[in-house]
């Protein structure tokens, strides 16, 4: 098993890397196209009625995939996947705006419902893209550095620790950029909303830790890879591996 493989074009081919990339991108698209339009409420023990945007179910899963990618394949491989996800989100956002803006045919009466489900203001879409890009790169960077610092031990500490930083950056950027001064959410409520979403997302990461351990172990054995970013160029704007 490779534990100190330097970045190079000669790194081995992988059996499952492309599947993890596809799953990551699929989750991101669901988080932006399926989740945002619905506000859900659950009655939870001790907490009572909890109201949340359904999109909160997807973003923590994307961070789990990000953790798995960096842990097994390294930061450079994860960087390519983050850019693939960013491109997919950008394309989906633009095409959603185009399709919603198309004039409906006479007799088609579902335009209002379609706008609710797939319409999004340019400000929210842009905030989502910026927050995703920054949060995912922070998550991957922190995990890669923590893996070196811990010598590959205590996987839970870096999956949860990197998520705290990544989701913290994501929430701190998205809510002010998307809603401050918009009237959709009162400015004084933004810190509470940010905190609630942050806690929920990190909580999902904690709950998923046993599954993350299992998937990481399977992939490391199957790929014969356990990459340490000892000589990695952490520049987010290059696609070199």
For the residues 94-118, what does the mean pLDDT come to?
Answer: 89
66 close to 60: Cβ distance less than 8 angstroms: no
Query: Taking 90 as the threshold, does the pLDDT of residue 53 lie above it?
Result: no
How many degrees, rounded to 5, is the angle at CA 33 between CA 28 and CA 35?
85
Position 37 scores a pLDDT of 63
Mention every residue, 6+ apart, whose C-beta is less than 8 A from residue 129: 86, 89, 90, 93
Query: Taking 70 as the threshold, does the pLDDT of residue 188 lie above it?
Result: yes
Query: Taking 70 as the threshold, does the pLDDT of residue 231 lie above it?
Result: yes
Q: What confidence tier does 58 reach under pLDDT thresholds 50, 70, 90? A: confident
224 or 9, which is more confident? Answer: 224
93 close to 51: Cβ distance less than 8 angstroms: no
Q: What confidence tier does 12 reach under pLDDT thresholds 50, 70, 90? A: low
Q: At what angle do helices 59-73 and 155-179 cross, to 10 degrees?
A: 140
Mention every residue, 6+ apart, whose C-beta is less than 8 A from residue 64: 159, 205, 208, 211, 212
Position 86 scores a pLDDT of 96
Position 40 scores a pLDDT of 76
| CB-CB neighbours of 58 under 10 Å | 21
Host H or E run for residue 87: helix 75-101
Ranking 32-41, 54-63, 142-151 by mean pLDDT, the lowest is: 32-41
Rg (CA), the chain: 19
| CB-CB neighbours of 146 under 10 Å | 18
Which pair of tokens denotes residue 187? Answer: 């400015």
The distance between the two most distant Cα atoms of the chain, rounded to a whole number of Å, is: 64
Query: Taking 50 as the threshold, does the pLDDT of residue 8 lie above it?
Result: no
- Domain extents in the chain: 17-102+110-223
Query: Taking 60 as the threshold, does the pLDDT of residue 221 lie above it?
Result: yes
Average pLDDT of the residues of the chain: 88
* Alpha carbon distance 143, 20 (integer Å): 17
Q: What confidence tier does 36 reach under pLDDT thresholds 50, 70, 90? A: low
> The dihedral of CA 32, 37, 43, 48: what is its sign?
positive
139 close to 66: Cβ distance less than 8 angstroms: yes
């Amino acid at each position: 098993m490779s534990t100190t493989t330097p970045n190079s074009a000669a790194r081995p081919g992988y059996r499952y890397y492309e599947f993890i990339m596809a799953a990551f991108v699929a989750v991101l698209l669901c988080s932006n196209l399926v989740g945002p339009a619905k506000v859900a409420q659950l009655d939870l023990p001790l907490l009572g009625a909890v109201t949340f945007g359904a999109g909160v179910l997807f973003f923590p899963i994307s961070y789990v995939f990000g953790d798995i990618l960096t842990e097994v394949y390294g930061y450079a491989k994860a960087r390519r996947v983050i850019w693939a996800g960013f491109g997919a989100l950008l394309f989906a956002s633009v095409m959603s705006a185009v399709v919603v803006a198309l004039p409906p045919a006479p007799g088609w009466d579902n335009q209002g419902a379609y706008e609710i489900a797939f319409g999004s203001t340019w400000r929210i879409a842009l905030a989502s893209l910026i927050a995703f890009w920054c949060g995912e790169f922070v998550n991957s960077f922190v995990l890669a550095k923590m893996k070196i610092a811990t010598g590959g031990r205590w996987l839970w500490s870096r999956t949860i620790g990197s998520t705290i930083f990544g989701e913290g950056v994501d929430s701190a950027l998205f809510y002010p950029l998307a809603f401050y001064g918009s009237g959709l959410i009162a400015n004084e409520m933004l810190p509470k909303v940010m905190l609630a979403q942050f806690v929920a997302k990190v909580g999902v990461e904690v709950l998923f830790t046993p599954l993350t351990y299992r998937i990481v172990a399977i992939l490391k054995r199957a790929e014969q890879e356990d990459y340490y970013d000892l000589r990695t160029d952490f520049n987010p704007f290059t696609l070199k591996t």
